[in-house]
């Protein structure tokens, strides 16, 4: 019988192990992961290595990147005693459920995905098939746990809408009302879309060729201060009210970062700083960023000094992840009509 009724409050989110985390990942996603770990949720956080290989990854570097991401997660405050931390490829249900979802989702749905268009650029024909059906694997990540809440940055909103569409169509096609939950995106905080420090109209991203465009979680105090000092601004002083940020993307971004790091609202930041010059604001922002970000790098190094311990933590996390996802996969196979011999 199809499972109906309420699903538990379960959080799932993933980050790709494809290079250093930056301030956008932290403020848009990981900071929220840590807060939700302390709230009334069961929390599952995944290093999505199968998503990373949708574009070429050097095999030796990929293993390092997975350990580094695990170290970054823990350095930011995720605790393997409180959250399930694991890498995606160690829980086979993700890839297995993704296949079912490839058969549920429609090509037209995938064709609308803006992230595929951005990542494939002019060369869509030469992109991997994996990059194209990436959102079906993401839906599988979430739904293999019957997760209900997914904290992400703004750029993942469309993928979460697709996840809902896949859940609805599956439940409908296989007469299983409520089997897969309709997930709630959790896109919250003062900085769900942190922009490049060099161009306030572009997202802060690990793929930007300019390292000055982003603050990496591995940057030391000097690098953080320098990047903020060099951040692009306009010549006007800070406005007194939020409406004064219209048409000033760089000012909006720096105010948003200050707000998120200090735990204040952007209006509150402007009440304090309105009318003052960036030459006064930037050093205060730099101090705040150094205070929040620089200790993360130190803690990351401590975790990375013992890679065996990281592997042990991810292995233990994967066992817990499999214990939840495998029964859900079995039920899914059953609903689809795939024969399982006893």
Give the nearest residue (CB) to ligand TRP: 14
Q: Give CA–CA dist 110/60, Å, rounded.
A: 31
Q: Which does 141 bind (CB under 5 to 8 A by kind): ligand TRP, ligand AMP, none?
A: ligand TRP
Return all residues near 89 (Cβ < 8 A) that are at least 6 apart.
49, 50, 95
What CA–CA distances, in Å, run from 135 to 107, 138, 311?
A: 11, 5, 27
* CA nearest to 187, candidates 206, 205, 160: 160
Q: Which does 49 bind (CB under 5 to 8 A by kind): ligand AMP, ligand TRP, none?
A: none
Q: How far is the CB of 215 from ligand AMP (least distance, A)?
A: 11
Q: Which of 149, 203, 227, 252 binds ligand AMP (CB under 6 A)?
A: 203
E strand or H helix that includes residue 185? strand 184-186
Strand order in the sheet with 42-47: 83-87, 42-47, 10-15, 149-151, 184-186
- Three-state DSSP class for residue 84: strand
CB-based burial label for 274 (10 Å; 0-12, 13-18, 19+): middle
Q: Using CA atoms, how far apart are residues 134 and 130, in angstroms rounded to an integer?
A: 6
Interface pick for ligand AMP out of 7, 9, 169, 193 (rule CB under 6 A): 193
Residue 43: what are its φ and ψ, rounded to 5°? -120, 135
Site for ligand TRP in 113-142 (CB under 6 A): 138, 141-142
Closer CB to ligand TRP, residue 22 or residue 159? 159
The helix (H) or strand (E) run that includes residue 43 is: strand 42-47
Applying CB under 6 A, does 227 fall inside the site for ligand TRP? no
Separation between Cα atoms, residue 164 and residue 335, nearest integer Å = 18
Catalytic residue among 63, 157, 169, 206: 206
Find the binding residues for ligand AMP in span 12-71 (CB under 6 A). Answer: 15-16, 24-25, 28-29
Q: Of 80 and 256, which has the nearer Cβ to ligand AMP?
A: 256
**Binding test (CB under 6 A) with ligand AMP, winner from 88, 192, 216, 225:** 192
What would the two tokens of residue 17 be?
């192990």
Smaller CB distance to ligand TRP: residue 192 or 233?
192
Name residue, tokens 């095999």.
59
Least distance CB 86 / ligand AMP (angstroms):
16
Q: Which does 142 bind (CB under 5 to 8 A by kind): ligand AMP, ligand TRP, none?
A: ligand TRP
Pick out residues in 43-62 that bind ligand TRP (CB under 6 A). 48, 51
| Sole window of 31-39, 64-72, 149-157, 222-230 interacting with ligand TRP (rule: CB under 6 A) | 149-157
| Catalytic (active site) residue 119 | yes
Total binding residues toward ligand AMP, as defined by CB under 6 A: 15
**For ligand TRP, which residue of 156, 192, 196, 332 counts as binding (CB under 6 A)?**
156
The helix or strand, by DSSP H or E, that contains position 224, with its residue range, turns out to be helix 221-229
Residue 78 touches ligand TRP, criterion: CB under 6 A: no
Of 119, 226, 232, 264, catalytic: 119
User: Least Å distance between CB 141 and ligand TRP?
Assistant: 4
**Does residue 122 have an active-site annotation?**
no
- CA 89/CA 112 separation, integer angstroms: 27
CB atoms within 10 A of CB 193: 15
CB 152 within 8 A of CB 187: yes
| 203 a catalytic residue | yes
Which residue stretch of 150-158, 159-167, 257-265, 324-332 sits at the interface with ligand AMP (rule: CB under 6 A)? 150-158
Binding site for ligand TRP (CB under 6 A): 12-16, 48, 51, 138, 141-142, 150, 152, 156, 159
Binding interface with ligand AMP (CB under 6 A):
15-16, 24-25, 28-29, 152-153, 155-156, 192-194, 203-204
Q: Give the residue numbers marked as catalytic.
A: 119, 203, 206
């Amino acid at each position: 019988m199809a499972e109906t009724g309420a699903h538990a409050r379960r959080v799932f989110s993933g980050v790709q192990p494809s290079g250093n985390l930056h301030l956008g990942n932290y403020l848009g996603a990981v900071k929220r992961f840590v807060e939700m770990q302390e709230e009334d949720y069961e929390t599952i956080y995944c290093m999505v290595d199968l998503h990373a290989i949708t574009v070429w990854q050097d095999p030796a570097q990929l293993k390092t990147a997975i350990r580094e991401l695990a170290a970054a997660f823990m350095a930011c405050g995720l605790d393997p005693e409180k959250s399930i931390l694991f890498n995606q490829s160690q829980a086979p249900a993700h890839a297995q459920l993704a296949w079912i979802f490839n058969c549920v989702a429609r090509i037209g749905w995938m064709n609308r995905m803006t992230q595929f268009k951005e990542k494939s650029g002019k060369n869509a024909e030469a992109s991997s098939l994996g990059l194209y059906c990436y959102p079906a694997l993401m839906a599988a990540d979430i739904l293999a746990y019957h997760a209900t809440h997914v904290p992400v940055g703004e750029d993942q909103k469309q993928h979460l809408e697709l996840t809902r569409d896949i859940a609805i169509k599956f439940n409908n096609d296989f007469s299983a009302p409520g089997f897969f939950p309709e997930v709630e995106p959790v896109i919250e905080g003062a900085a769900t879309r942190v922009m490049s420090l060099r161009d306030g109209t572009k997202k802060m991203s690990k793929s930007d060729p300019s390292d000055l465009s982003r603050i990496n979680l591995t940057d030391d105090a000097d690098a953080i201060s320098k990047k903020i000092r060099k951040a692009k601004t306009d010549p006007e002083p800070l406005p007194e009210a939020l409406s004064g940020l219209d048409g000033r993307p760089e000012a909006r971004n720096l105010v948003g970062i200050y707000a998120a790091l200090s735990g204040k609202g952007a209006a509150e930041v402007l009440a304090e700083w309105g009318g003052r010059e960036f030459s006064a604001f930037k050093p205060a922002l730099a101090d705040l960023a150094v205070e929040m970000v620089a200790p993360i790098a130190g803690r990351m190094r401590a975790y990375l000094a013992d890679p065996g311990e990281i592997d042990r933590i991810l292995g233990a996390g994967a066992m817990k992840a499999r214990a939840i996802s495998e029964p859900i996969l079995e039920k899914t196979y059953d609903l689809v009509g795939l024969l399982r011999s006893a």
